[in-house]
A and B are shown apart, each in its own frame.
Chain A
Amino acid sequence: EVQLVESGGALVQTGGSLRLSCTASGFMFSTYGMNWVRQAPGKGLEWISYISSSSTTIFYADAVRGRFIISRDNARNALYLQMNSLRVEDTAVYYCARDTGRDRNNIELDYWGRGTLVTVPS
């Protein structure tokens, strides 16, 4: 069974840093691209970053580029999101999600974790 479990969410002050982790199981992690998607309270989904299976291709949304860093450790079946210079508007549930890789230049998310909450109080 495919499982994705996020951790690391916390309450952090403006300007602070946080590292989220996503532990994968039930599939060959090293062969799939992975994504982070967030959802602010009461708001819609916002894609924020993608990393290819071998970490050679990385994309960021404008809202986090230069502040967040996505990475992965295939030996540990783990995905990470280093979040720096946090802002109030970064408050959200952060989901990791697997990309099927079915089609080039498309992001298709077939498995999602339950999410971890990051709160940056005003």
Chain B
Amino acid sequence: QSVLTQPPSASGTPGQRITMSCSGSSSNIGRNYVYWYQQFPGTAPKLIMYRNNQRPSGVPDRFSGSKSGTSASLAISGLRSEDEADYYCSAWDESLSGPGMFGGGTKLTVL
């Protein structure tokens, strides 16, 4: 059971804007940056958002991130079929359980 909570699934149609959430606490999201990773089946994850809302080079500006209090969100606008993937949020957790934490992941389906 992860300390970062993500809905297990999300869906949208091409061209639509969708958002997915990541809920944490004061020991993680509340005081540290949030990161987002995209993973296609059978491949390694890829960093697509850092410092809550910053995109690495090469990530389309259709992807955006935000954080408020102990929750964060990843939004994808102009949804495309190639966005269908698993998305994981991550944040440093300052509890004794170890600093690296991932959410359980959200599987995005493009209908």
Residues of A participating in the B interface, judged by any CB pair closer than 8 Å: 35, 37, 44-48, 50, 59-62, 65, 95, 100, 102-103, 105-110, 112-115
**How far is it, in angstroms, between the C-alpha of A102 and the C-alpha of B92 when the chains are bound?**
13
**With A44-B2, A62-B97 as contacts: A109 and B45 at CB distance below 8 Å:** yes
Give the distance in Å from the alpha carbon of A48 to the alpha carbon of B97 in the complex: 10
Bound: A26/B37 CA distance, A: 22
Total B residues in contact with A, Cβ cutoff 8 Å: 30
CA–CA, A43 and B8, complex, Å: 11
Instruction: Flag if A107 contacts B45 (CB, 8 Å).
Output: no
Can you spell out 26 A-B residue pairs with CB atoms less than 8 angstroms apart?
Answer: A44-B2, A44-B88, A44-B104, A44-B105, A45-B39, A45-B90, A45-B105, A46-B102, A47-B101, A48-B100, A59-B100, A61-B98, A61-B100, A62-B97, A102-B51, A105-B32, A105-B99, A106-B32, A107-B35, A107-B90, A107-B92, A108-B47, A109-B35, A109-B47, A112-B44, A114-B43
B103 on interface, CB distance cutoff 8 Å: yes
**Do most interface residues of chain B lie in helix, strand or loop, or is the interface mixed?**
loop
The verdict on A50 contacting B99 (CB below 8 Å), with A44-B104, A44-B105, A106-B33 known, is: yes
Q: How far is the CB of B48 from chain A (nearest CB, A)?
A: 11
- Chain A residue numbers with a CB within 8 Å of B43 are 114
Pick from A59, A102, A112, A114: contact of B50, CB under 8 Å: A102
Shortest A64–chain B CB gap in Å is 9
A22 to chain B, nearest CB (A): 12
Known: A37-B100, A109-B35. 6 other contacts (CB 8 A): A45-B105, A46-B102, A47-B101, A48-B100, A106-B91, A107-B90
**CB within 8 Å of A: which B74-108 residues:** 86, 88, 90-92, 94, 96-105
Q: Which of chain B's residues have a CB closer than 8 A to the CB of A59?
A: 98-100
- Would you give the shortest CB distance from B18 to chain A, in whole angstroms? 19
Instruction: Choose from A44, A47, A100, A114 the contact partner of B100 (Cβ within 8 Å).
Output: A47
Q: Cβ of A112 and Cβ of B98 under 8 Å apart?
A: no
Chain B residues positioned under 8 Å from A61 (CB to CB): 97-98, 100
Distance in Å: Cβ of A60 to nearest Cβ of chain B: 6
